[in-house]
Amino acid sequence: MTDASMDTPTPRRKKISLVADDARTKKRNKAEKRFQAYGIGAIAIGLFFLLVLATSILRSGIPAFTTTVVSVEFTLQQEEFDEAEGQLFKTKAYSNYFISALQTTLTEKGIKVSFDEASIERVMGKIGSTLREHYSASPDTLGQPVDFSLGASSRVDGYFKGRVTREGLQDSRFLTLADLDLVDALAEAGIITTTFDWNFITGADSGVDNPGGAGIGASVVGSFFMMLVVLFLSLPIGVAASIYLEEFAPQNRWTDLVEVNISNLAAVPSIVFGILGLAVFIQFAHLPQSAPLVGGLVLTLMTLPTIIISTRASLKAVPPSIRDAALGVGASRMQSVFHHVLPLAMPGILTGTIIGLAQALGETAPLLLIGMVGFVARGYPDGFISGFIDPNSAMPAQIYTWAARADASFYEKAWGGIIILLIFLLTMNIIAIILRRRFERRW
């Protein structure tokens, strides 16, 4: 073979049997098997990590959806109210009424445990002021039994969720071992219970001192308004830009330049868009800080390249024969695009859009710079318009804020927030899939 002179006869294939593999075939088959094994291995590793991720999120996040509640039925008589209001330490007087009532209830149930005002405060917060606030606001409930549902303190909540144990507990001004006896007794009496925490889903963020009251609802609303801005800006702008570039623009150096720039923009770190948003939208245009409108604008800038690139790819994938057919019967270029090409490219455009939106939904870095992270979203916006311009937080920003706070139950809330974020994302994807199905056509 190496001697390629004209005299050497052309090498001929040896006669081989079809039932036995020759060396080459064996090698080829082995290579194919190896390749398939790599593939399966890669998928297995991927699935493993997905499983680890899902279990750790669920394990750490599920407790955030339950809360430990102290519910006590308490009756205050008119005379008692008058007497308490006449004293110097009014809330202390209320506390004393509550403690004696609680003592009576426990004794009736045959549970013996001793506690004082301080331990009650450690377990369920400042009960005296809660009672006083209630009766001052609605004096007509005096003399009637009222159900007080109070959130247990973060550490008591942790005790029920396994975060705090008797063994690991050191007496401190937050919780002592003796308090846990009281807690056990109250749990036995059915006064302390664990319930599903609707406040976590519907509520707003609380301050650092009240982890039990923190909810993600307000920032879900913030994210929702941001996504509205992103969707209604980036989809039309992105699709229009891609249609122009793909179907109308002449192929020259300028369009090449634009194309290269769009591809590069897709790879720009998101924090760069954040600082751009800070400079342009807040410092220059004086839009309100921490507002979903500004967040949405910044995320729109970030999402546009993704949408443009995927839209152009799906426009390119439409067979040119469809354009020819439309032009051939005398349709204008715009008619051929809007009547025929765009509907066929729609599934791809939707996929790109949803990928862009999902990316935007999970983005935290640019929000840091426009002030949506440090802000404590204490309430809901008043209406549709104020949803855009009132300061609010967004889900990933809220999660980031919680994860940075000291109290362990905020950490738990962060995991819970991740679950809500993923549910939001899944919902978005499902809507996209349904829309895709609707637009998908055979050809």
- Chain positions contacting another protein, by CB under 8 A: 250-251, 319, 321-332, 335, 339-340, 344, 441-443
Q: Give residue 4's identity as a one-letter amino acid code.
A: A
Closer residue to another protein in complex, CB, 232/244: 244
Q: How far apart are CA 408 and CA 414, in angstroms?
A: 10
Q: What is the closest distance, in whole angstroms, from the C-beta atom of residue 249 to another protein in the complex?
A: 10
Closer residue to another protein in complex, CB, 243/414: 243
Q: How far apart are CA 214 and CA 206, in angstroms?
A: 5
Q: What is the closest distance, in whole angstroms, from the C-beta atom of residue 414 to another protein in the complex?
A: 48
Q: What is the closest distance, in whole angstroms, from the C-beta atom of residue 258 to another protein in the complex?
A: 16
Q: What is the closest distance, in whole angstroms, from the C-beta atom of residue 351 to another protein in the complex?
A: 18
3-state SS of 1-23? Answer: CCCCCCCCCCCCCCCCCCCCCCH
Q: What is the closest distance, in whole angstroms, from the C-beta atom of residue 244 to another protein in the complex?
A: 15
Closer residue to another protein in complex, CB, 237/322: 322
Q: What is the closest distance, in whole angstroms, from the C-beta atom of residue 347 to another protein in the complex?
A: 12
Q: How far apart are CA 404 and CA 398, in angstroms?
A: 10
Q: Measured between alpha carbons, how far is residue 327 from residues 298, 324, 332, 341, 390 in Å? A: 39, 5, 6, 12, 50
Residues 6+ apart with CB under 8 A from 270: 302, 363, 365, 366
Closer residue to another protein in complex, CB, 249/422: 249
Closer residue to another protein in complex, CB, 42/317: 317
Q: Are 205 and 377 in contact (CB under 8 A)?
A: yes
Closer residue to another protein in complex, CB, 134/340: 340
Q: Are 244 and 314 in contact (CB under 8 A)?
A: no
Six-digit token string for 222 = 């913030």
Closer residue to another protein in complex, CB, 235/344: 344
* Angle between helices 270-277 and 292-316 in degrees, nearest 10: 130
The strand pairing partners of 196, in sequence order, are 66
Q: How far apart are CA 388 and CA 291, in angstroms?
A: 6
Closer residue to another protein in complex, CB, 327/368: 327
Closer residue to another protein in complex, CB, 232/248: 248
* Angle between helices 253-265 and 292-316 in degrees, nearest 10: 130
Q: What is the closest distance, in whole angstroms, from the C-beta atom of residue 305 to another protein in the complex?
A: 25
The CA-to-CA distance between both ends of the chain, in Å, stands at 52
Q: What is the closest distance, in whole angstroms, from the C-beta atom of residue 322 to another protein in the complex?
A: 6
DSSP string for 196-230:
E-HHHHH-----TT-GGG--SHHHHHHHHHHHHHH
Closer residue to another protein in complex, CB, 101/249: 249
Q: What is the closest distance, in whole angstroms, from the C-beta atom of residue 331 to another protein in the complex?
A: 6
Q: How far apart are CA 381 and CA 366, in angstroms?
A: 22
Q: What is the closest distance, in whole angstroms, from the C-beta atom of residue 320 to another protein in the complex?
A: 9
Q: How far apart are CA 232 and CA 118, in angstroms?
A: 55
Print burial letters for 360-381: b (CB count within 10 Å at least 16), e (below 16).
Answer: bbbbbbbbbbbbbbebbbeebb
Q: What is the closest distance, in whole angstroms, from the C-beta atom of residue 326 to another protein in the complex?
A: 7
The strand pairing partners of 72, in sequence order, are 148
Closer residue to another protein in complex, CB, 253/441: 441
Q: How many CB atoms lie within 10 A of CB 204?
A: 21
Q: How far apart are CA 367 and CA 400, in angstroms?
A: 11
Q: Give residue 203's identity as a one-letter amino acid code.
A: G
